Amino acid sequence: MDLWFTESDMKTYGLVFKIKKTLYVGKSKYQTVAVFETVDMGRLLVLDGLVMSCEYDEFAYHEMIAHVPLYTHPSPENVLIIGGGDGGTVREVVKHDIVKSVDLVEIDEEVIKVTKEYLPILGSAFDSPKLNIHIGDGIEYVKDTDKRYDVIIVDGSDPVGPAVGLFSESFYRDCYERLKEDGIMVAQTETPYDVNLRVHVPQIYKNIRKVFPDTRMYIANVACYPSGMWSFAFATKKYDPIKDFQGVRYEKDGFKLKYYNDQIHKACFILPNFVRDFIDG
């Protein structure tokens, strides 16, 4: 008998994976955490029935959420990551020599533990000397900390359960206050294509733009996420992602990346008409 995993919020069509075996299922304080070995797409990290990362294409999401802001800001020495307990965003951020310190705030310690054990391709940078891990609520962290950051990356899950507050105007306002005067915030903002998740997108951008007037969407192709099109908000106090692209540093770094490059950096901000109308209408 074949075993298939279907995302729990798929109401009218399916995102399904053929499963070779179940590697882990456990209940944390906040959610059900599972890891599956798929037949031909590697390992799959699932939180409360929703796909968080898949070895097959995780590089697309993590490279785009990290390198776009880091190659826009001229000196991103101090970085805050909210969420991101799977470690993929940390892995990409600490590649940059210019980054001196990274604070990761993850509410669910179990996600980090499971990733380290079952998804080492994602959790390979948890031992970086640049990284400080804080187990706690990212919403409370940005309210209470006195630290100021060059870049804040909001790598939360979908706007349900413990992550719902990461899409609120008050949270974005606290992020604004924790950024330096020339800081950048980037946040994952769901998909404008999927019939179930797209309903969240216009309100997310309204909330961000109330705080950051200069907010733009950029997109990436992530095959294992609903619809395959995923979006990110680029919210900036000063720098323009196109005009201020740090091309010299990009060439000097010479990272061997799978998705992100200098042309993608600029092209990802060009949106289909229906997407532009959807968030600007």
Catalytic residues: 155
CA quadruple 69, 72, 73, 75: dihedral, nearest 10: 110
> 3-class DSSP state for residue 271?
coil
* C-beta atoms surrounding 227 within 10 Å: 19
Among 180, 202, 206, smallest CA distance to 192 is for 202
**For residue 221, what are the CA distances in angstroms to 172, 224, 251?**
25, 9, 23
> 3-class DSSP state for residue 253?
helix
Q: CA 41, CA 39: separation in Å to the nearest integer?
A: 6
What φ, ψ does residue 86 adopt, rounded to 5°?
A: -80, -10
